[in-house]
Every structure is written in C-alpha cells, then in structure tokens.
Structure 1
Amino acid sequence: MNKSLFVFFLLICISLTQGFSQSFLINNVHILSMENDQIQLNQSIEVENGKIIQIMPMSQSPKFKGNRVIDGGGFYIYPGLAEFHSHIPVSQNGNTELQEEAMWLYLANGVLRVRGMIGHASHLQLKARIDAGELDGPRLFLSGPSFSGSSVSSPEQAVQMVRDEKAAGYDHLKLHPGLEMDEFLAIAKTAKELGIPFGGHVSLAVGLKASLENGYKSVEHMDGYVEALIPDYSKVLDQAVAGPFTMLLVKEADRSRLPELVDLTLKTGAWMAPTLTLFDRYFGYKPAEEYRNIPEMKYMSAAQVQSWINAKTPYEERGVLTKENVQPYLDFRNELFMILHEAGVPILMTSDSPQVFNVPGFSIHHEIELMSEAGMSNYEILKTGSVNPAKYFGKEGQWGIIKVGASADFVLVKNNPLKDLTTLKEPFMVVMKGKVYDQKELKMQLEKIEQNHKR
C-alpha cells in the first residue's frame, strides 16, 4: 500500500472505531519488543483493557472477536521513549494549562514515561488526574520539592522534610547543591529507612564519593565527576575560577582517577542521567539568540523563551561560553558518558525539559542525536527510554516493553528505529495504557498549543 494512502486509511480507521470498545487488534506490524534487539516481522497485537493480551504472527490468522481492527501498514512498533529528568510546570492559581500542554508535548513525541525532578503539590494532583483517566498524559514519577542549601537548614529539618515528602506520596527525592555533609547524611539515612530513592546534583561539601557511597540512586547531569578529578579542590570551590559545572577546569582533570570512580559507581549501583542536550544548548557556544526561532520554540510562550535567553546571555557576556572553553568540556562529557555506559553503568533517557532551550518531548530527540554522536548504539539508546526506566522503579516487565501481560504503551513509526533514529520524531500512532492517539489527534493538540503561544 502507498504510504500516504496508508496514513489516510489509518486515521480514518482509528477515528471511526475510537471509543467503540476497550479492545482492539493491530495487524501487519513489525515489533521491536526491547526484550532483545531483534525485530519480530509481520505480527499482530491484541489489546484489552489497557494490557497486551496476545502477540502472534500474521500467518497464524489471529482470531479476534472485537470490532476494532487497525491495519498497521507494515510500520514498526516499539515501547516509546522517556524523559526522566523533567521540570513539570507548576499550576498557577489553579490554572493547569501549561501542565496539560507539557503532557501533550510529551505524548506527541512518543514520550510515554516522565520523571519530574522539581516537585510541587500540583504535580500530585496532575498525576492523580492522569491515573484516573481524567487527563491525557504519560506515566509520571514525581520527586518532591528539592533539598538544597536554601531549603534545608539543619539535619533535623532535613529528616522531617524527607518524611513529609514520603507521606505526601512523592516517588523520589531530588537533591540540589549547597547541602552540608551532616544534612546530606541525615537525608540519605532517612530516605533509605523509608524506602524512597534519591539523587540529583552533588553538593561541593559532600562530593561524589560520599554521594555514591551513601546511596545516590541517580546522578543527574553526570554531576560531580569533573570536580572529583581536579587535584586542587580549592579551585572547584571558587565559582569564578571553576565556571558553570566546573567547565573552566576540565583541562586540569586527572583522568587517571576516573577508573576508580567508575568502579565505585558500579559497586554502589548508581544510575546516570546525562542530559547531554542541556549542556549542548545552555552551556554550548551557539549564541542564545539563535535558539529564539528554532521550530519547537513555537510551543513555548515568548516570555519563556526570553527567560531562557536571559539565563544564557550573562555567561556569553562574561566570555565564558567561547568555543575554546566549551568544546573540551563537551568532549569530556561525551567521553565520560561512553566510559560509564561501556563499563555497564545504567543510563536513563533525560534532557531536562522544559529547561533552557529544551522544549518538552522535542528535546528528547536532540538528546537521542547526541547519544548517537557520542557512540551509543541505537538499541542501547532505546533501552535508556524504555526498559531502563522500568528497572529504575522496579517495574520490569510491566511497561517499557512489548510482551503479553505488559501495559499497552507503545508507538507506531514508519521505519525500523534500530536503523533510523529520525523516524522516532514522527509517531503515526501512540498507545498509552491501551488508549489510542492517532497522528491527526497529536497534530491537532500541537496546533492548539502553538495557537496558545502565538507570537
């Protein structure tokens, strides 16, 4: 079938059958289950009540009693992507529009699982609405309000903050810089007692080694590794000398120390959230103004885009973000990323959106490009957004994979993603907990968001 005719047929087929039944059958698809790196050709998938109940070859003439059959047109199905370092918008005086827009931006880009890393009470309400089926969106895993030098005043207060966040129903704790060692140790001890994972930035007074040894579940931005390699730590403590994320000292890093840090990372079981795109865009040498009108910025308000430009411009004005300063730092981050990955440290798909020039959903595709450029294989990249997030929260086999019994969370794309990562940018269909979103619906939601922020 001609591809354009197939797309038209697919949209008509879905729209006519939407809502008729909680069960449906998708025929004529090739499946990348993520149980391994093999493609299952010419398959059918049956979904009922949000679960995958049957996968079988087309040659077996699948029996289906329902009335909703979708022709997959020979396209490919995979379990979708993740954004496991997100800053979910906060509702403003009960206005949840920006939150709801972010959820659609994720879905429209095939991002089906999101870990929020700066918490707010309105996020718990958002998650409850999605879980109840009242609102469309990906799976949410929420960190509470962050622990930092400004929010933590003593070990005792930090302990109570951990207890309060656990009781409120957050899934994770986020640590920011500025914590003293006694405060950090109190947070770590209490979090382990209560069984809530924690991670984030590495405070300078704590250091990478103590963070790992005391239970960091995830190291955000691969934070703390450069600092741990600098022989003269007094330079690290001087931000004027070190620059953002110790960028200006990377040439002084003693790489002979790196194997010990990698071994410690493996020994302690820490995960890595690299956010390569954050550093490429926020701390890269491309001028801030050049990002103002890139295509995905039309989904952000003019005020938001301007605030991102304002965040980067001071570094440019101080002469920090020259190519001479930036390129060695980005090269080191790519090198570190691949050393950790090849050593077996598990990686999470993360882009830090919406953060400086990283638009929800769209920024994940830029992250994917950077992971590929660094040397990671397509299959391993896809793992960081599917099976790895499930493992992170102890949900292996429940989602992030295409198998009988798993949640029906998957995305239909034109080409084989093991050979073509760009195909991930154009989902033809998204299925989230068994609910079908066709390309027409996804585009309509994107158009609404664009109109909301018309310049």
Structure 2
Amino acid sequence: MKNFIIANFLFFLFSSSPLFSQTYLISNVNIVTMESDEVLHNQSILVDDGKIIKIVPASESLDYEGNQVVDGNGSFVYPGLAEFHSHIPVAQNGNTQLQEEAMWLYLANGVLRVRGMIGHASHLPLKARIDSGELDGPRLFLSGPSFSGTSVSSVEQAEKMVRDEKAAGYDHLKLHPGLEMDEFLAIAKTAKELDIPFGGHVSLNVGLEASLKNGYKSIEHMDGYIEAMIPDYSKVLDPKLAGPFTMLLVKEADLTKLPALVDLTLETKAWIAPTLTLFDRYFGSKPADEYRNIPEMKYMSAEQVQNWINAKTPYEESGVLTAENVQPYLEFRNMLFMTLHKANVPVLMTSDSPQVFNVPGFSIHHEIELMSEAGMSNYEILKSGSVNPAKYFDEEGEWGVIKTGASADFVLVSENPLQNLNTLQKPFMVVMKGKIYDRNEIQKQLDRIEGNHKRD
C-alpha cells in the first residue's frame, strides 16, 4: 500500500508540470538495469528532461537541490517491456479511439515499445502525436502496408512499393505469404539499397533458406522452419494436408535438417519473433467461446471479440484443432523456440496483439508465461523485451536499459522480476520519456476503456 501512496504522490506532484521538462529524484529503489543480471540495490535515479541524468547509491550525496523527491520504498525498477509484433488499430474515418485505447492498454501493462507489423497510413500521425507529447503512448516503430500475394502484382510494382514506404517514413517492411521468388528478390534488393529492414512470414514459393540468405531481419512466428524440414514439400503446398502453419505435418519434420537451419539463421544474423501466445490461443484446443469472458476481453468491443471467435471456429468445426493435433504442434514449436534461443539466435518479445484473443498489453504477460514454460530464464525473457528491441533498431543504450544518458523509460513493480515474473502484471508506476503515470491514472484509463465497451 505504501508503494501505491508514493506513486499517487508523484503523479500529483507532476500533474501540472510541462511534459519532458520534469526534474525529479526517485530514491531507495532496486534497479534491474538489464546491462547484466545483477540488481543494483538501494539506488537513486535522477531524471531531467526525459533522460536519466545520474544513478547513485542512495547512501551517497547527490548534487540535486530540487524538492521533487520520493522514497521508492524498496521497489524494483526495470526498463519495461516490448510488443514487437503488433497490429496497431486503424483510424476509421479519422476516428482514433481504438488506436488511443490500444496505446493506453500497452502503457497500463508496462509495455513501452511497440513494433507495428501491419501498417496503415493512419499509423504515421499516431506516431507523430506520441513523439510530440500530444498523445500518451509507447515508443512506436512502424511497418508499412504489407507485401503479399494480393498487394504485389509485379517486380516493378514491388520495387516502387518499397520506395514509397521508405519515403513515407515507415521504419520497417512487413512481408506476408503469397509472394513469388522474383517479387521477393526485388523487395529484398530495393530494401537493402534504401537501408530499411524487412521481415515477416515466409512465402511458400520463396522458402526459409532464400528468405534468410536475402536479408530477412526477423522471422515472424518462427515461420518457415517446419516447412523447411518436411521431406515432401508438395505436402506443404497443399493446405488441406498441411493445415494452418503446417500444423498437420509437424510429425513428418526431419529434425536432422534443423542444425543447418539454425546455423544459417546465425550466419545471416536474423532474429526470431515467436508469438507463442498467438498459437496457444488461436490454434490451441481450448474452444473459442471460452475466451469470450476472460477478464481482459472487457477492454475490447463485443464485435471484436466475436470476430476473433468467428476466426477460430472454422478450424474447430473442421476438426483441425483437436488435442491430438494441437499438442504435438505446440510442443514442437517450444522445442524449436528453445533450440534457436540456446544457439544464441536473438529473440524479440512478441504476442501479435490485438489479434485473436490477444488483448494489447495483457497478451505480453501470456507470452512471458509461455516463454518461461518453454524453458527461457527470467533474465533472457526480460532481455527479449528491453535490450533486444533496442539492438534490433540499432539504438542500443538509448533505451531498453536503465543507465545514465538513456531515455527515462521504466516501470516500478513491487518484487524482483528476475525472481518473480508475475510482478510484471501489476505495475504501480510507469515512466515514459520522463512522464509519470501512477496506478490511479492507469486504473482510471482502464476503467474508461472498459466503459467504452460495456456489454448489454
């Protein structure tokens, strides 16, 4: 309770201060810096103009004459989490409500950086509003509209699409299935010329090997690995035989091919985005309707939840999502995930929200639970959501760590997350670019969003 009082006091203290210009000191905190797995105990953090100015032991004197000081009462500070595979909502006819709600749902769960992976023109002004301080939200990195079998019609059009997205200001390119090899090679060549990263699904007519060798930076959903291990590729090309994401062929995968695929992934410096929770919920055996009333669904519209149920139901009705099919598939994905991770293939924290029962922010905690169950350590899980995303965009040290000179983006929780990941589910203070959001403000926003989607 004392921690909550401290957070409330801080929010009151700075509620009238200009954005990005607050100077304040948080003392008596334990810092999970993410520069290593060591915790700095009983520290003070000085913040000014959205930056961490200094970190010193609380017992040492600090050259700070201001009166904006609070005792952190032994809480733990860490750099926050990432959602690096998000489907940011689209502004419909200029209505940005769902976008703004999603940004608050991320902040409320300590998610401070988001990579959008299915782009739309309305995402660019959203990012600009957040960057300027007009709108509250996490740090955004945007992919443009996706390249797929339906959006790409020729090599020339594919090249132009890459140039247009780069010129528009997108940070990344997203590739979906259905691309032909010549189209893919044109996208890859142009993207490398313009120095814009690209990644996504692996098109069946391209394959994992060609995707990696031609510059895929991130393999979303660990797509393409199972397909690359199926001896008879003609089965992969038959959706009735393969099922969604080749689920029905997983028992035919030739594991002797996996070491070479891991080596190629390392050689080409590609990253993986596992999205374990998407597969657990969308392609798991739990009936779709049972997700309708789980707690976080109250922050989504009834129409959205029904759309998700409608998306999963056909797989259930066709008999694909039986426990007999699902369990070996999910176990195989866990094995693949940990094999890649143990080989030092870098991992990005991703949950594919909002997408089929994965509510923004909340779904990251489901992803964390599944990463832990698969065998990943707490430190490496936190690293996938902090240090790694910054490295991915070549901004290592600028954010994703708690150190002098880094952006003041961090979260306060009651326990050490290196020992208890559950503490991440209830941040009582979030700091984004130096701006403070206490638990009362977070709950106020959650209540407002819930009220926007009241069920009849």
CA distance in 1, matches of 2:378, 2:78: 12
CA distance in 2, matches of 1:6, 1:246: 48
From 7, 12, 16, the counterpart of 2:9: 12
Displacement of 1:68 in angstroms is 1.3
Other-structure match for 2:34: 34
AA at the equivalent of 1:387: V
Other-structure match for 1:192: 192
Q: 1:226-248: CA deviations, max 9, x gaps?
A: 10000000000000010000000
CA distance in 2, matches of 1:323, 1:215: 37
CA distance in 2, matches of 1:227, 1:307: 29
AA at the equivalent of 1:214: N
Match of 1:121, SS state, is: coil
Displacement of 1:311 in angstroms is 0.2
Other-structure match for 1:78: 78
| More divergent stretch after superposition (59-68 vs 232-241) | 59-68
Other-structure match for 2:48: 48
Displacement of 1:10 in angstroms is 3.0
Other-structure match for 2:304: 304
The aligned runs of 1:89-238 (5 Å cut-off) are 89-238=89-238
Other-structure match for 2:378: 378
Q: Residues 30 and 40 of structure 2 are in contact (CA less than 8 Å); yes or no, is this contact kept in structure 1?
A: yes
Q: 1:298-318: CA deviations, max 9, x gaps?
A: 000000000000000000000
Q: 1:45-70: CA deviations, max 9, x gaps?
A: 00000000010001103232223112
Match of 1:60, SS state, is: coil
AA at the equivalent of 2:2: L
Query: Structure 1: any 5+ residue segments left out of the alignment?
Result: none
Instruction: Verify: 1:419 aligned to 2:419, yes or no.
Output: yes
Other-structure match for 1:248: 248
Q: Residues 117 and 143 of structure 1 are in contact (CA less than 8 Å); yes or no, is this contact kept in structure 2?
A: yes
Q: Residues 10 and 438 of structure 2 are in contact (CA less than 8 Å); yes or no, is this contact kept in structure 1?
A: no
Q: 1:246-276: CA deviations, max 9, x gaps?
A: 0000000000000000000000000000000
CA distance in 1, matches of 2:10, 2:297: 32
Other-structure match for 1:440: 440
- Pair 1:17–1:127, CA change in 2 (3 A): closer
Q: Residues 14 and 436 of structure 2 are in contact (CA less than 8 Å); yes or no, is this contact kept in structure 1?
A: no
Other-structure match for 1:394: 394
CA distance in 2, matches of 1:176, 1:200: 6
CA distance in 1, matches of 2:227, 2:274: 16
Q: Residues 3 and 75 of structure 2 are in contact (CA less than 8 Å); yes or no, is this contact kept in structure 1?
A: no
Q: Residues 217 and 270 of structure 2 are in contact (CA less than 8 Å); yes or no, is this contact kept in structure 1?
A: yes
Q: Residues 81 and 111 of structure 1 are in contact (CA less than 8 Å); yes or no, is this contact kept in structure 2?
A: yes
Match of 2:122, SS state, is: helix
AA at the equivalent of 2:8: L
Number of equivalences: 452
Other-structure match for 2:338: 338
CA distance in 1, matches of 2:333, 2:69: 47
Q: Residues 14 and 70 of structure 1 are in contact (CA less than 8 Å); yes or no, is this contact kept in structure 2?
A: no
CA distance in 2, matches of 1:54, 1:268: 38
Displacement of 1:15 in angstroms is 1.1
Match of 2:398, SS state, is: coil
Q: 1:208-229: CA deviations, max 9, x gaps?
A: 0000000000000000001000
Match of 1:281, SS state, is: helix
- Pair 1:315–1:72, CA change in 2 (3 A): same
CA distance in 2, matches of 1:292, 1:66: 50
AA at the equivalent of 1:8: I
AA at the equivalent of 2:134: E
Q: Residues 296 and 359 of structure 1 are in contact (CA less than 8 Å); yes or no, is this contact kept in structure 2?
A: yes
Displacement of 1:9 in angstroms is 3.8
Displacement of 1:319 in angstroms is 0.3
CA distance in 1, matches of 2:402, 2:424: 17
AA at the equivalent of 2:301: S
AA at the equivalent of 1:426: K
Q: Residues 10 and 71 of structure 1 are in contact (CA less than 8 Å); yes or no, is this contact kept in structure 2?
A: no
Q: Residues 379 and 418 of structure 1 are in contact (CA less than 8 Å); yes or no, is this contact kept in structure 2?
A: yes
Match of 2:390, SS state, is: helix
Displacement of 1:369 in angstroms is 0.2
The aligned runs of 1:308-387 (5 Å cut-off) are 308-387=308-387
Q: 1:77-127: CA deviations, max 9, x gaps?
A: 000000000000000111000000000000000000000000001000000
AA at the equivalent of 2:167: A
CA distance in 2, matches of 1:146, 1:251: 31
AA at the equivalent of 1:5: K
Match of 2:285, SS state, is: coil
Displacement of 1:17 in angstroms is 3.8
Match of 1:90, SS state, is: coil
CA distance in 2, matches of 1:361, 1:102: 8
CA distance in 2, matches of 1:13, 1:409: 16
- Pair 1:408–1:189, CA change in 2 (3 A): same
Query: Structure 2: any 5+ residue segments left out of the alignment?
Result: none
Displacement of 1:428 in angstroms is 0.9
| Aligned-pair identity (%) | 77
Displacement of 1:6 in angstroms is 3.5
CA distance in 2, matches of 1:82, 1:16: 28
Q: 1:328-372: CA deviations, max 9, x gaps?
A: 000000000000000010000000000000000000000000000
Q: 1:370-428: CA deviations, max 9, x gaps?
A: 00000000000000000000000000000000000000000000000000000000001
